[in-house]
Amino acid sequence: MVFATLFQKWYICRAIAIMLRGFWTMVFVLLSQLVIGQTYSGYVYNAEKEGEGIPRAKVYFVDLGKTIITDENGRWEIQDVPSGVNHVEVSYIGFETIHKDIELVEGVEVVIKLEVAHRNLDKVIVSNDGYLHRESITNIESHSISSLTRIPGTTVGQALTNIPGVYNTSIGVGVSKPVIRGLSGSSVVTYVNGLRIQNQQWGSDHGMPITSVGIGNVEVIKGPASLLFGADALGGVLYFVDEPYVEKNTISGFVSSRFESNSLGSVNRAGIKYSKGNLRFNAYGGFDSFADYQIPNGMKVLNSRFYEASGKFSLGYSKKNWVFDLRYNFYKGRTGLPGHTHDSIPDFDSFLTTNQNRRENVPAIVTHNNFVSIENKFFFNNHELFVTLGNTNNNLKEHEEKYFFPDYNMNLNNTLYNVKFRSRWGRRWESTIGAQGMYQMNRNGDAPFTLIPDANYMDNGVFGLIRYRTDLWSVLGGVRFDQRVIDAGDFIENAKYNGFNYSLGFARVSDKTSIRVNASSGFRAPNTSELLSDGVHHGSQRYEIGNVNIGTESAVQIDASFGLHFDDLEIILNPFYNRISDYIYIERTDSIIEGYQVFEYTQTDLAQLYGVDFGFHYHPHFAHWIHIESSLSNVFAEDGNKNPLPLIPQTRINSNISFNFEPATKFKTIEFVLQHKYFFEQNRLGVFEEETGDFHLLDMGINTELDLKNPIMLSLGVRNFMNVEYADHLSALRYLDILNPGRNFYFSIRYQFSKQLKSQ
């Protein structure tokens, strides 16, 4: 008995000792990862010339935020980063940028091969190589802002319409809201670097709350994406990614300015990037100012003027297994709302003027945004932990009659968290679990009117997804549960809305073909505007009434893409079908209150949105200096009784021909771009909607770079070259007979520099 007791005690002590030893071993292993500076290296080669290294190629470690430049032999070397699999973006002028997972093992050289640009054409419609692709198998469009602005749009919202399936609703030039496959407003979620941005986006006059300042890339998920982005991601997601930090021990900067003739507008940017040791920062500022725009007959649209000031600051710090980023965005904008009248029977001529003015006027929307986020990433051998905390504050004032005193004053404060844990299980399996949430407060400030009451939102969601891949196949599936609680005092007390969502898909990608099929769901709980509106919304020129009986809407989309990839030709076909249950929309009624047409939020059992994106890219071998691209985007939308839904974009064909030269002169490169857009007639109309005729738009531009130590980029071009009179189907001004802008010449100049710092 005594022996048994002693043995038991000895056994317990021994077990504890083993556990302690295991614990200390684990601590030692983790600490050793933190303190031992291992070096990893590799080469970037030209895929067409065996063994030829590419000097000055850029290897960007996406999750670590670190950029390495290859030496004269194409060799790169990196220290103080975690071993194991890392995601890199590798680029060099004249070569196709690639995204790739590489495994860092000390003593093993990693070889990365870049295809010469004319070989790889895979970006017409689908480019599943962006920042989000690791957690989504659906079709993701990834574009650099520079590629979307080869012929620059006035605003970032207009630049996005170069992406197939993406459109924008507008009020003049200053208000632009993205539409993805026919859905917009609260159904489209905007992220900037993992931080969800909110700006009362239910309002048709509340435009995109960001400018292109400091933005490097934008990725678009078309269709429901609640698995990764939670409530509201029913129509799609816009995910903006900041420009990366500059490579280690470097300082670089730029100054740029663009002038537009149509609205005497200027877009001005400046930025500086600095990196030394483990510390780095980017800082940017921008100021855009536009006077009233001009329609083709030379008249100006009164009060379509706007200005935007924005700033951005990012601070990064990294140790071997830890990456920290602090990001701050500031935005202030004042946007005039054209089409304003005091008359019960409007005189359309009063909306136009012969004078072009940029002086602050009313009615106008004045917006202040402050976004701040703190990102922490922790890396272990086969695991990564991401923790993002953030706060966004959007103050929106609508001035109807008075310059100093707003009629509406709303402040939307949003505090968010986003935690994600990613693990790799061998070479083929990868899993991610996470939690996301936010606490949102809407408060009405000092103003005589309120459109929506003070309210609090609480969102919480948990998700998990798993991915399996071979060299040819990839399968991904995941599930998510969300709950939104809305508390609006006497109006709604702690109403709960739950959502259960999933995504399941596969991809088969070979050299010549690619097939992707994905089913994903999304849900959107109603917002307080849809539930509780009761007042004149001057920006939309209507009286809006909410409905407290509106419930959650949910959607399921099946999306497929089929691609053929040859050396000089790529063809992509991307059909989709999005089925929305309990679809929420705003409907015009025959009532008038306070002189305004009454619109009521309502819900229908079923809505279906379906269509196709089709595109090709031809780059003939006999003339490598020519690129021909064309894409067709179309969407049909109808309710359960086959009645068309309102505000659905026109079918569009967007074609580009570009000619690229590298003359042996002071001009390093010359690119000539010709762009033609054809908008089909829209005759599938909602209630009280009017038909929109077809129209052609022709744009052209020249982009060149002067071959100097610090390069200067010049661009010159014209939009709407034929001075076509048109009003887009999604323009809110077309009912007032106000046309879109006429011919618009532009000129831009950009100076940039880069300097190596002494290493520590």
Residues that bind other proteins (CB under 8 A): 251, 253, 272, 285, 287, 302-303, 309, 340, 342, 350, 353, 357, 359-363, 401-405
Tokens standing for 349?
A: 């001529």
CB of 351 to other proteins, least distance (A): 10
Which CB atom, from 282 or from 715, has the smaller least distance to other proteins?
282
For residues 312 and 374, the answer to whether their CB atoms sit within 8 Å is no
Which CB atom, from 21 or from 755, has the smaller least distance to other proteins?
755
CB of 272 to other proteins, least distance (A): 6
Which CB atom, from 24 or from 403, has the smaller least distance to other proteins?
403
Name which of 746, 653, 752, 632 is nearest 152 in CA terms. Answer: 746
Which CB atom, from 287 or from 386, has the smaller least distance to other proteins?
287
Name which of 542, 635, 506 is nearest 580 in CA terms. Answer: 635
Q: In sequence order, which residues have a C-beta less than 8 Å from that of residue 24 and are 6 or more positions away?
A: none
Provide, for the chain, the percentages of residues in helix, strand and coil under a 3-state DSSP scheme, each rounded to the nearest 5.
10, 55, 35
Which CB atom, from 363 or from 563, has the smaller least distance to other proteins?
363
For residues 477 and 466, the answer to whether their CB atoms sit within 8 Å is yes
Tokens standing for 480?
A: 């998510």
Helix (H, G, I), strand (E, B) or coil at 18: helix
- In DSSP terms, 351 is beta-bridged to none
Which CB atom, from 287 or from 599, has the smaller least distance to other proteins?
287
DSSP for 596-664, written as a single string: EEEEEEEEEEEEEEEEEEEEEEE--TT-TTEEEEEEEEEEEEEETTSPBPSSPPPPEEEEEEEEEE--S
- The terminus-to-terminus CA distance of the chain in angstroms comes to 68
For residues 142 and 198, the answer to whether their CB atoms sit within 8 Å is no
- In DSSP terms, 323 is beta-bridged to 318, 377
- In DSSP terms, 703 is beta-bridged to 671, 715
Which of 462-495 are b and which e, b meaning 16 or more Cβ less than 10 Å from the residue's Cβ? Answer: ebebbbebeeeebebbbbbebbbbbebeebbeeb
Which CB atom, from 360 or from 639, has the smaller least distance to other proteins?
360
Helix (H, G, I), strand (E, B) or coil at 408: strand
CB count, 10 Å around CB of 349?
A: 9
Query: What sections of 334-451 are H helices per DSSP?
Result: none
CB of 483 to other proteins, least distance (A): 43
CB count, 10 Å around CB of 370?
A: 15
Phi first, then psi: give them for residue 32, nearest 5 degrees: -65, -30
Rounded Cα gap, residues 406 and 403, in angstroms: 7
Name which of 658, 653, 651, 657 is nearest 631 in CA terms. Answer: 653
CB of 399 to other proteins, least distance (A): 9
Which CB atom, from 303 or from 692, has the smaller least distance to other proteins?
303
Which CB atom, from 234 or from 302, has the smaller least distance to other proteins?
302
Give the angle subtended at the CA of 539 by the CAs of 537 and 540, to the nearest 5°. 70
CB of 422 to other proteins, least distance (A): 39
Which CB atom, from 399 or from 627, has the smaller least distance to other proteins?
399
Rounded Cα gap, residues 674 and 565, in angstroms: 24
For residues 142 and 131, the answer to whether their CB atoms sit within 8 Å is yes
Which CB atom, from 401 or from 737, has the smaller least distance to other proteins?
401
For residues 334 and 174, the answer to whether their CB atoms sit within 8 Å is no
Which CB atom, from 512 or from 758, has the smaller least distance to other proteins?
758
Which CB atom, from 309 or from 749, has the smaller least distance to other proteins?
309
Which CB atom, from 249 or from 357, has the smaller least distance to other proteins?
357
Tokens standing for 257?
A: 């300015």
CB count, 10 Å around CB of 673?
A: 19
Rounded Cα gap, residues 340 and 398, in angstroms: 13
Strand 495-509 and strand 250-260: pairing? Answer: unpaired
CB of 24 to other proteins, least distance (A): 47
Which CB atom, from 309 or from 670, has the smaller least distance to other proteins?
309
Task: Identify the sign of the CA torsion 532, 537, 540, 543.
Answer: positive
For residues 282 and 312, the answer to whether their CB atoms sit within 8 Å is yes
Q: In sequence order, which residues have a C-beta less than 8 Å from that of residue 322 and are 6 or more positions away?
A: 376, 377, 378, 379
Tokens standing for 377?
A: 């990433």
Which CB atom, from 285 or from 646, has the smaller least distance to other proteins?
285
Which CB atom, from 184 or from 310, has the smaller least distance to other proteins?
310
Name which of 661, 668, 647, 553 is nearest 599 in CA terms. Answer: 647
Rounded Cα gap, residues 15 and 400, in angstroms: 75
CB of 449 to other proteins, least distance (A): 15
Q: Which residue bears the tokens 């707003």?
A: 406
CB of 343 to other proteins, least distance (A): 9
